[in-house]
Chain A
Amino acid sequence: MSAAAPAHDHGHGHHDDHAHAHPTGLKRWLFTTNHKDIGTLYLWFSLAMFFMGGTMALLIRAELFKPGLQFLNPEFFNSLTTVHGLVMVFGAIMPAWVGFANWLIPMQIGAADMAFPRMNNWSFYLVVPAAILLVASFFVPGGAAASGWTLYPPLIIQQGIAVDMTILAVHILGASSIMGSINIITTILNLRAPGMTLMKMPLFVWTWLITAYLLIAVMPVLAGAVTMLLTDRHFGTSFFNAAGGGDPTMFMHIFWFFGHPEVYIMILPAFGVVSAIIPAFARKPLFGYASMVYATASIAILSFIVWGHHMFTVGMPAAGNLFFMYATMLIAVPTGVKIFNWIATMWKGSMTFETPMLFSIGFLCLFTIGGFSGLVLAITPVDITLHNTYYVVAHFHYVLVSGALFSIFAGVYFWLPKWTGNMYNEKLGKLHFWLSVIGFNLAFFPQHFLGLAGMPRRIPDYALQFAEWNMWSSIGAFIFGFSQLLFLYNVIECIRSNRKSEQMPWEGADSLEWTHLPTPAPYHTFETAPVIK
């Protein structure tokens, strides 16, 4: 079957037997309803946003290299931290996972395409204007939103038109996410090939199914919260305005009811990707498949009852604080099950360490560190001193950068041969990994120390005793940031190179896209559903 796939990048891969023409050039990409094209669009978009958000991060770290104000005025600094967060969460990580979902879910369950291909096209093309609104808000009077990505009132109520642009962007992104999620759930529930029972699905499909349910549960809540902000700003309501009988604390409750599931939305697909890669490179089946599924579901359910751990300092009753503390610690149990299963999968495996495996192992070690600092922060009395310090910044970058982002890198290197038909440059891939892992740890590990010493986050200047670790952190951030140009180079070089990938570049890969489809995957796949035994 591998003969069916002449070498080209997937962009011209219409080589199956079907004669119906599809448009080429710009029209192809604008009107496409092909899940692979849309996946590609999502992935390139998220890469562009990743560099945008990364540039903002480097501006922040440049300012924090030394104490005192060097380059930026404080208002602009606040805008940078805000938009960096929003762009990375909604522009880089989430669209990257939707891109993976588009590319992989139909192929992994033996479906020809997504359930609603036209809606799929819309999901993507809504994301673009939202991103433009977010980034363009830097150039309106008053500058971009400067409240932090959590958009807390009363500050956000008082800012200029940029906030309205941000709110509109969040609305559009929410609509796009909900449409994408409905598409994914319907695809998984209705379009599985005969014999592909739920408990035979690859874990990536499982984690995305659960993620999609989380998305349709919480994106409407965020939409409601920002709508309330909007009406408070312009239509005389007082949801959060104390002078009119509202309460800004209520915004925190609504926001974090969305916000905590949101962090699992960004990490669950990562669990799925790592659960595909570690068995492939350990050449052993995944240890404890069923427990992985149940652990993912438990994490998702628990994510709805832990939001209060973001607000231990707002004056909840002690019983409330304790409830959220214990509920949060409970999440460590299913997460521990997962970590255990990945390690058990590697146990006595015939492991090799190509780039996808390196990033997966990097994920495993560093995500665990992020998980542990999360447990520290879950302890109410400890959190009261660490709240809003750099310890929190270190914690969530360990779970979102070395967690979500590293597994995105792992997944891209793992599936690039399937997507493009070409092998990436292994040497440069490994160089990318090592530069990333060193730069990342140098950037973020010292932030634990800064936080424990009391350095507050989101402030452009700091006391002199924090100078040393901030300098190292900035150096690490610049190493990490610039080594991502190598990733861009690796991807482009892979697409343009002539290093044909073998049909099975990875010995241990066992999902349908490897076992039942040629490499590279043709433009249309599984038009006749395979039968799974």
Chain B
Amino acid sequence: MDAALAARNRQTLAKLLVVTGLMLGFAFAMVPLYRQICDALGISQTRVVGATNTQVDTSRTVTVELLASSSGLPWQFEALDREVKLHPGQVVTVRYRVRNTLGRPVVAHAAMNTAPARAVRYIEKQACFCFTNQVLAAGEERVMPVVFLVSPTAPRDIDTISLSYTFFELPQGAAS
């Protein structure tokens, strides 16, 4: 093979390698390109912005009064938000504060009840300290959230609900 031909072959090789490199780049360019096209066409499924809750019943307002107590435990336990006004279906977050005043760790569990009692089935909790046992070291203080909504199916005559939590101490050695 003469030198001129070998040089021509190398030239072709170089050109084809450039094509190969460009196509490899194209594979990765498809990532932003895909995003752009999906956004432009409004068919993005993974990056939903400004989602709205269509289940909120804005035609009425329910007042939820928050109460806290502990049974046989000298704990300081109080609701930081005493009262919230909300529309059924609207997700709200309220906070409770608890402090273990004893000189020893305590395992306790909170129980919920409502007034009127029939409202209990319309309180839908998404996060609550009452789902698990709470372990507090001596003197420890903690702020705990409750995320809940009042179901839009709640009867219209329920316009005020008292939501009350009571802490009970669990025997030593109870699972935390």
Contact = CB atoms under 8 A, between A and B. Distances in A.
A478 to B, nearest CB: 40
B23 A217 contact: yes
Nearest to A215: B20
B30 A254 contact: yes
B26 A116 contact: no
Given A116-B9, A178-B20, A254 B27 contact: yes
Contact of A257 (B8, B24, B30): B30
A398 to B, nearest CB: 30
Contacts of B5: 190-191
B27 A216 contact: no
Contact of A221 (B17, B24, B34, B47): B24
A76 to B, nearest CB: 32
Given A182-B17, A216-B19, A317 B41 contact: yes
Interface stretch (A243-251, A451-459, A502-510): A243-251
Contacts of A247: 34, 38, 45-46
Given A245-B46, A247-B46, A217 B34 contact: no
B12 A185 contact: yes
A456 B73 CA distance: 62
B138 interface: no
A315 B12 CA distance: 42
B43 interface: yes
Contacts of A221: 23-24, 26-27
B43 A218 contact: no
B12 A224 contact: no
A389 to B, nearest CB: 25
Contacts of B173: none
Interface residues of A, number: 34
B16 A186 contact: yes
A190 B12 CA distance: 9
A83 to B, nearest CB: 24
B34 A182 contact: no
Contact of A190 (B9, B21, B38, B41): B9
A179 B9 CA distance: 13
A216 B16 contact: yes
Interface string B29-41: 0110010001001
A189 interface: yes
A115 interface: yes
Given A178-B20, A219-B23, A247-B46, 6 more contacts: A182-B20, A190-B8, A220-B23, A221-B23, A223-B24, A253-B30
Interface of A: 115-116, 178, 181-182, 185-186, 189-191, 216-225, 228, 239, 242, 245-247, 249-250, 253-254, 257, 315-317
28 contacts: A115-B12, A116-B9, A116-B13, A185-B16, A186-B12, A186-B13, A190-B5, A190-B9, A190-B12, A216-B16, A216-B23, A217-B19, A219-B20, A219-B23, A220-B21, A220-B24, A220-B26, A224-B24, A224-B26, A224-B28, A228-B28, A228-B31, A247-B38, A249-B45, A250-B34, A254-B27, A254-B30, A315-B45
